[in-house]
Chains A and B, each alone.
Chain A
């Protein structure tokens, strides 16, 4: 079943010939907790191609952050257990290499930006010190050369008077500026992939727009692939080429932004799109939310995990879990009823 899941995924991607930059295959990450084993990521497979922007979208607890942290091998172990799967980055399985080999991939191969611009910078080190550190470790740049490069990087992310700002501490900067510094650090060694985990969630909308445009422009300029993890459907619509919709630890739908937003095939995607008030449409009187709440990860429903909240659920959904399958030559959807879901949404559009 697992084999089938990604075999069909590969068919959908067969139009692109070059091997993907990152291939995640059947990743499963669980945690040992007092309530027993909790599976945060329950078998996820996806690719990131060179230079593309991939969105990972879902609500809290769906496993999107744990997927990213698993790729970076940043989930503390214990309590983490990665039970199975492969994470191939340029053909190397990140789950099989040593800690020091992984260290050289973090920063130089894959950069990451986190949500809290307050806590992901070290408060007692200057900005300059924090930007030059990866330059020394990965590129062997030290002294004046490193400092010049750091000033260039700050300039690049739009911080004025960059040479003088190198001696500032994080508390002397605003939230937006700190996130700019994070981007400078993440891109300092020109990684091939940048993972932005809710990187703009804590920022105000006008600052959020600044940071997103900056991130998109720089990654386009460097040819860096970008993986945007967010719960904000609008951000993905604007910036992502393709997206994966996650729910309860699994990818439920995946395709291009146009396919998924304009013609969703999974009831959860339909529910998400109907739950948000939208500025691109006339004001509606009432929203059409998904009923109920996300399931307890320690006690997932049998069959399809979305079944208890699903309007299209049939008795068959309780018996087995649907695999990701191609929907009418378009995106991949993990739902037995995807054809009728897709049809009914088309009717709603007209």
Chain B
């Protein structure tokens, strides 16, 4: 423990994965805490939910960062804090070099143009009273991007065909579309204002596998065509591996491991990443029946009362007494590879 403490110095700001080229989005030590209040007239804070508890990552132009973790790990809260829908408690979010934390709503508006968002529920995220064309065209109106009515119609038609829908469908209402088509509408709306970053929050999770594959291909095409960067949030590890260049694994509001996609899936370092990967069943009966699975004990601890020391220590198959005493920070263990585990090879000397 003393050895660890001596190496536990604050890191230089550029000591993060992916810092070798100018990042489009740069998040540093982001914290979002929600106070839990009691009392009727005089409210006092009785506890604090540490939904996101100090995360850092970069996304470069045209790159996909996959953010994985189980429900309650803070993925969605982190994404909302990036686009300033949640006000972060502390930390820094820099987009194209500009600091977003502390900006007013009015100052945020032109920046939101460059950040699109696609949500999970293709049924709840589209206004049922607007026609498809108006849903897709709304960002054009809000940001004043259409010169004339004709220009507006032309842009809407071209957006619809970009996502694989017929421009003739612009007169229809959302209830006339299938789940997959609605998600295409959601993507068309998100790219309408020509953003450079898309935040995709479980955007393919609710879709059937055949439709999911169509949307994943569409997202890859759009990325190539427009050099879009993606923050891709999902709990399905096989989908994340397919679409991501780099992956960050979250547990209890922290990033516990981040690496290039290939490295993370081939040589996971953190025991939580290992357990997550081993829990995913693959459609191959021979492979499935021959491999051992790591079955974690218990549930995710409450973020209201996280365990002492390492947050994963209560469920970790290899935890030692040191793990419940020391809370490990994320350290660079190899080029482009970081993990927060006391027992990882080379962690103490990193």
A residues contacting B by CB (< 8 A) are 59-60, 174, 176-177, 204-210, 213, 231-238, 257-258, 261-262, 271-280, 283-291, 293-294
Contact = CB atoms under 8 A, between A and B. Distances in A.
B299 A177 contact: yes
Interface string B167-182: 0000000000010110
Nearest to A288: B213
Interface string B233-249: 00101110110000000
B338 interface: no
Given A174-B299, A276-B238, A284-B242, A262 B277 contact: no
Given A206-B275, A272-B209, A293-B178, A237 B288 contact: yes
B136 interface: no
A315 B296 CA distance: 52
Interface in B142-170: none
* B contact patch SS: helix
A205 to B, nearest CB: 4
B210 A205 contact: no
A275 B216 CA distance: 10
Contacts of B293: 209, 213
B170 to A, nearest CB: 19
Interface string B274-314: 01111111111111110001011001100000000000000
A288 to B, nearest CB: 7
A275 to B, nearest CB: 4
A236 B300 CA distance: 26
A276 B279 CA distance: 16
B299 A278 contact: no
B262 interface: yes
Contacts of A258: 285-286
Given A262-B285, A289-B217, A279 B237 contact: yes
B208 interface: yes
Given A233-B283, A238-B289, A275 B210 contact: yes
Contacts of B211: 289, 293
Nearest to A291: B214
Given A177-B299, A205-B279, A206-B296, A277 B242 contact: yes
Contacts of A275: 209-210, 212-213
18 contacts: A174-B299, A206-B276, A209-B278, A233-B283, A236-B283, A237-B281, A238-B289, A275-B209, A278-B282, A278-B284, A279-B280, A280-B287, A283-B242, A286-B217, A286-B220, A288-B213, A289-B212, A293-B180
A289 B214 CA distance: 6
Nearest to B278: A209
Contacts of B70: 204-207
Contacts of B285: 237-238, 257-258, 261-262
B196 interface: no
B299 A59 contact: no
Contacts of B262: 283
A177 B178 CA distance: 34
B6 to A, nearest CB: 34
Interface size range of chain B in the complex: 35 or more
B295 A238 contact: no
Contacts of B242: 277, 283-284, 287
A52 B253 CA distance: 42
A210 B210 contact: no
Nearest to A160: B298
B286 A277 contact: no
Contacts, number: 127
B320 interface: no
B295 A59 contact: no
Contact of B279 (A209, A233, A284, A289): A209
Given A277-B239, A278-B282, A280-B282, 18 more contacts: A59-B210, A176-B299, A205-B237, A206-B70, A206-B276, A206-B295, A209-B295, A237-B281, A258-B286, A277-B242, A279-B277, A280-B287, A283-B242, A283-B265, A289-B211, A289-B213, A293-B180, A294-B208
Nearest to A258: B285
B217 A237 contact: no
B209 A234 contact: no
A271 B287 CA distance: 20
A39 B285 CA distance: 32
A261 B279 contact: no
B296 to A, nearest CB: 5
Given A204-B235, A277-B241, A234 B283 contact: yes
A293 B179 CA distance: 10
A177 B208 CA distance: 27
B219 to A, nearest CB: 11
A157 B280 CA distance: 22
A291 B180 CA distance: 12
Nearest to B300: A204
A206 B208 contact: no
B267 to A, nearest CB: 14
Contacts of B125: none
B261 interface: yes
B71 interface: yes
Contacts of B296: 206, 209-210
B97 to A, nearest CB: 32
Nearest to A61: B208
A287 B208 contact: no
Contacts of A283: 241-242, 261-262, 265
A258 B181 CA distance: 34
Contact of B295 (A210, A279, A284): A210
A284 B262 CA distance: 11
Interface in B72-94: none
A261 B293 CA distance: 21
Contacts of B178: 293
A208 B235 CA distance: 12
Q: Which of A59, A177, A280 has the most CB of B within 10 A?
A: A280
Given A208-B279, A234-B280, A59 B208 contact: yes
B147 to A, nearest CB: 35
A187 B102 CA distance: 55
A235 B282 CA distance: 7
A275 B210 CA distance: 5
B299 A207 contact: yes
Contacts of A205: 70, 235, 237, 276, 279-280
B341 to A, nearest CB: 17
